[in-house]
């Protein structure tokens, strides 16, 4: 016997957010990033600053990856069909994976630019850097703030894209102010390397999570143990096996399990048991559950897969 339930409780942590809000936030981040990237190229040429030109190339890569994430995120909102029976939620996870890889590659490229400048620092146009840095902090800071409202893994990875840019422009702002009064160009690569390593560390953590979820690892072991405890303490449950908890996109989790019951029951008791299980599982906001009942003297048809 199988109990297939789809739980969409009104108290779900994301139910108060319109379905297209994540796409809207990513879309705004994309538009702001593209516009500012163009300004960066022009500003880098006018100030004769290779650091700003390098950041413009980096932001161009960010724009392309954010645009890709925007498209994938919108695709993830499509309803399920015969090809993708669970829906398109995992496309959002794919976007998080791609963007994590792009950001790591971009960070490594920035480091390859910055380290040589420790040996041969160059004096840029400090006044031009100052005004571009102020604009950069405002534009990228606003975009990062908008994405910080998001809860999806995709938005978190993209937020680190923009946070890296904010921190980078803060570094440019500090260096520009110092360089206006003191000729010490080596501060630029030092701060750039420090901020890049900091952001790179956090992106690697998010990417590790995305890869684990993409490979269908258990999203959170604590949740898995709590669910097992809730089910195992039911008076009619003798054993639990073939217990699988995985995630569609880091938010929407799927549960399947075989529950061995200790006695036979009639239809009325069966309905009561289903209701009790549903009540026990409701705090976990599972997107989809498939539970199969087995009796103590019944041979599990999936025993060969153990």
| pLDDT exceeds cutoff 80 at 192 | no
Residues 80-106 have a mean pLDDT of: 78
User: What's 79's DSSP letter?
Assistant: P
Q: Residue 170 in contact with residue 124, Cβ under 8 Å?
A: no
| pLDDT exceeds cutoff 50 at 298 | yes
Condensed to tens digits (0 to 9), the pLDDT of residues 107-141 reads 788 788 778 878 888 777 888 888 988 988 888 78
| pLDDT exceeds cutoff 60 at 240 | yes
Residues 178-205 have a mean pLDDT of: 80
Query: How is residue 112 written in tokens?
Result: 């390859």
pLDDT value of position 134: 92
178: Cβ contacts below 8 Å, ≥ 6 apart = 184, 187
**Nearest-CA neighbor of 150 among 21, 18, 64?**
21
Average pLDDT, the chain: 78
> Which pairs count as long-range contacts for 77-81, CB under 8 Å and 24+ apart, including other chains?
77/19, 77/20, 77/23
Whole-Å CA distances, 154 to 61, 69, 111, 131, 251: 16, 7, 24, 31, 11
Condensed to tens digits (0 to 9), the pLDDT of residues 4-46 reads 444 444 334 333 334 456 667 777 778 888 888 888 888 878 8
| pLDDT exceeds cutoff 80 at 275 | yes
pLDDT value of position 154: 61
Query: How is residue 279 written in tokens?
Result: 């009540």
pLDDT value of position 5: 43
142: Cβ contacts below 8 Å, ≥ 6 apart = 32
């Amino acid at each position: 016997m199988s109990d297939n339930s789809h739980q969409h409780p009104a108290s779900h942590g994301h139910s108060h957010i319109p379905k297209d809000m994540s796409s809207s936030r990513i879309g705004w981040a994309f538009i702001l990033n593209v516009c500012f990237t163009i300004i960066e190229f022009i500003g880098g040429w006018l100030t004769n600053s290779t650091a700003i030109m390098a950041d413009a190339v980096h932001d161009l890569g960010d724009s392309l990856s954010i645009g890709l994430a925007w498209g994938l995120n919108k695709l993830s909102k499509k309803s399920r069909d015969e090809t993708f029976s669970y829906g398109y939620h995992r496309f959002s996870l794919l976007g998080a994976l791609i963007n994590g890889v792009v950001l790591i590659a971009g960070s490594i490229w920035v480091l390859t630019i910055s380290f040589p400048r420790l040996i041969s620092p160059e004096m840029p146009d400090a006044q031009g850097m100052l005004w571009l840095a102020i604009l950069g902090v405002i534009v990228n800071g606003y975009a990062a703030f908008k994405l910080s409202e998001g809860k999806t893994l995709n938005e978190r990875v993209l937020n680190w894209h923009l946070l890296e840019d904010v921190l980078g422009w803060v570094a440019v702002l500090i260096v520009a102010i110092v360089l206006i009064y003191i000729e010490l160009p080596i501060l630029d690569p030092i701060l750039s390397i420090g901020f890049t390593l900091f952001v790179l560390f956090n992106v690697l953590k998010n990417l590790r999570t995305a890869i684990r979820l993409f490979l269908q690892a258990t999203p959170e072991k604590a949740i898995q143990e709590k669910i097992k405890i809730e089910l195992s303490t039911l008076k009619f449950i003798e054993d639990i096996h073939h217990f699988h908890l995985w995630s569609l996109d880091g938010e929407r989790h799927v549960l399947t399990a075989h529950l061995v019951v200790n006695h036979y029951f009639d239809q009325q008791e069966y309905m009561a048991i289903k209701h009790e299980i549903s009540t026990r599982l409701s705090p976990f906001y599972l997107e989809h559950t498939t539970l199969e009942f087995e009796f103590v003297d019944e041979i599990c048809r999936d025993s060969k897969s153990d």
